[in-house]
Structures are given as structure tokens and as C-alpha cells.
Amino acid sequence: FLAGLFPPRNLHLYNTYFPWNPVPIYPTYKDHYNIAYMTGSQKCLKYHAATIKAVGRFRDEYKENITEFLEFVGPYTGIDLAESFNSTESIWMAIYTMWESVYTVIEEELPLPSWTDKIYPQPLTFLA
């Protein structure tokens, strides 16, 4: 219906035979987030090095908390503890992904699973 009212043009024309517009189903709240994940290609090299160093210090200081957290969420999320500790970025990404998943549910005003009571708001908010 909307494709008839607002047909795609130029860059948004994905298929000339069947004019359609993809509809995003995963919302992004970058305007509302305090943090936004950036891929390595978008980072300044000095910023990237400083971030890795800071996250490394955080990992070393809170290793027990991070390990306990990842062991708890593993069965519910599929996050692999051993794989998460492969690199500093892996740990950060696992925690960030968990935080974003919970935060999205809260933003949509949907009920959280009961197991998240043990991780949200703390320690997830602190670790993220």
C-alpha cells in the first residue's frame, strides 16, 4: 500500500520489477543512547588504542564480576564465556550486546524475562 503512495526512487529502488521499500524491524536508539558501538573502521587509531587499554584495565579490575555475569547469562543467551575472554573487544562486545538487548526490551515497555532480575539493573548497568 505505502509503496503505491510513496514509490521508491533512485538509491532506494532495490528492484525495478517489484518496487518496494524495506521496513526496518530492529529499532535503533542511537539518538537516545549514552553510547553507540562503532566498528573498527570508524575509529581513530589513538581512540581505539585508548579504548582497548581502558577496557583492559576494567577487565583486569572486575574479572571476577565479569566472569560471574557471563557464567550466569550464558545458558540463557548462548554467550560463550571462553570465547568472550579471547580478547578485550570480545568481552566488551558480549556485555554491550547483553545491555542493548535488555535495554531495547525496556524501551519498548515489554516485560523482561524473570532471569534478568538477577542482572538488571545491576550488575549489567555497571558493567556496560
Smallest CA-to-CA distance from 22 within 32, 14, 34, 30 is with 14
| pLDDT reading at 114 higher than 70 | yes
| CA gap 61, 109 in Å, rounded | 34
Domain total of the chain: 1
CB 45 within 8 A of CB 37: no
> Across the chain, what does the average pLDDT equal?
76
User: Does residue 4 fall inside a structural domain?
Assistant: no
Structural domain for 85, as ranges: 26-127
Q: Is residue 92 in some structural domain?
A: yes
For residue 119, being part of any structural domain is answered with yes
Q: What is the pLDDT of residues 12-50, one digit of tens each?
A: 667 777 766 666 566 555 554 555 555 555 667 887 788
Q: Is 3 part of any domain?
A: no
Q: What is the CA radius of gyration of the chain?
A: 19
Q: Is the pTM of this model over 0.95?
A: no
Is 83 part of a structural domain of the chain? yes
CB 8, CB 20: distance < 8 Å: yes
Q: Are 66 and 127 in contact (CB under 8 A)?
A: yes
Domain annotation covers residue 98? yes
Q: Is residue 58 part of a domain?
A: yes
| For residue 52, pLDDT beyond 70 | yes
